[in-house]
Amino acid sequence: MDQELVITIDKDSPLFQAATLLLDNSKSITALSTKVADMQMQLNDAQAQTQSAVTASAALKTLVDTQSKQIDDLKHQVYVLTTPAWEQDADAIISTATALYNAHMESGQTLYPYVFGGNPKLDADGNVIGGSFDCSALTQYCYKVHGYTLPRTSYNQAKQGTEVALTDIRKGDLIALDVTSSRSTPNGIDHVQIYIGDGKIVHTNPSGNGINIKDLSDFTSKIVTIRRIINK
């Protein structure tokens, strides 16, 4: 018959104390492992929620971008249907000129300097990538981009289109002026500008440090003729 082996250990003995400490540590480790597992589950849930939020945010942005484009397309369709053809061309010409002006202003320097007789440098698509403008080079370029051919000089440009009175001026009209009264051309025409509406003009001149927008009222006394190039 087997006999049960019984070992008695004194509670005050180092062996008993070591066993007790080991058991307590084992319980602590088990509890800590459980906490770590719970925290990992919470982290996984948080990461999943974050990923879901990122996905939802991306989907929302795509939706907003799509709707914004649809709205812009609709606005453009309304613009085309309700805006006279001449005004659409004028807006396009003005947009080209003001884009050059804005690029000049944002550069913090004279991006397209005024140079008498200067011409812009264009890429293969006809976009300005450098060079310079004088007043008639600027007007010639802006009109040409949208299908209107003008001669190179301000004097010859002043003979294009039909003449209109200052009281009848509208955006897109070409303004020819005698600014210096030192030219030998008839009527002293030595400068051209584009009227952009709301009493403003865009042009380039030496004193303006390149392309700039000014009040038409600053030049009315020097106007020789106003030409309507867009006759639609």
Predicted confidence (pLDDT) at residue 6 exceeds the cutoff of 60: no
The domain total for the chain is 2
Q: What is the average pLDDT across 158-178?
A: 97
> In sequence order, what E strands does the chain have?
120-122, 128-131, 162-164, 174-177, 191-197, 200-205, 210-215, 223-228
3 within a domain of the structure (yes/no): no
Query: Which of 151, 104, 113, 149 is closest to 133 using CA atoms?
Result: 113
Q: Which of 58-62, 78-82, 116-120, 217-221 is least confident?
A: 58-62
Angstrom distance (rounded) from CA 105 to CA 224:
29
Whether residues 56 and 144 share a domain: the answer is: no
Q: How many CA atoms lie within 13 A of 10 on its CB side?
A: 3
98 within a domain of the structure (yes/no): yes
Task: Give the pLDDT confidence score for residue 15 in this predicted structure.
Answer: 64
Q: Which of 5-14, 171-180, 206-215, 222-231 is least confident?
A: 5-14
3-class SS of residue 205: strand
Q: What pLDDT, in 10s, does the model give residues 189-199?
A: 999 999 999 99
Question: Is the entire prediction scored with pTM above 0.75?
Answer: no
Task: Give the pLDDT confidence score for residue 160 in this predicted structure.
Answer: 98
Whether residues 209 and 130 share a domain: the answer is: yes
Predicted confidence (pLDDT) at residue 200 exceeds the cutoff of 90: yes
Domain hosting residue 121, numbered range: 85-228
Whether residues 78 and 93 share a domain: the answer is: no
Task: Give the pLDDT confidence score for residue 186 in this predicted structure.
Answer: 64
Task: Give the pLDDT confidence score for residue 69 in this predicted structure.
Answer: 93
> Tokens 């294009």 correspond to what residue?
160
Q: What pLDDT, in 10s, does the model give residues 14-64?
A: 666 666 777 677 777 787 778 888 888 888 888 888 888 888 888 888 989
Whether residues 104 and 196 share a domain: the answer is: yes
Q: What pLDDT, in 10s, does the model give residues 118-147?
A: 999 999 999 999 999 999 999 999 999 999
Angstrom distance (rounded) from CA 18 to CA 79:
89
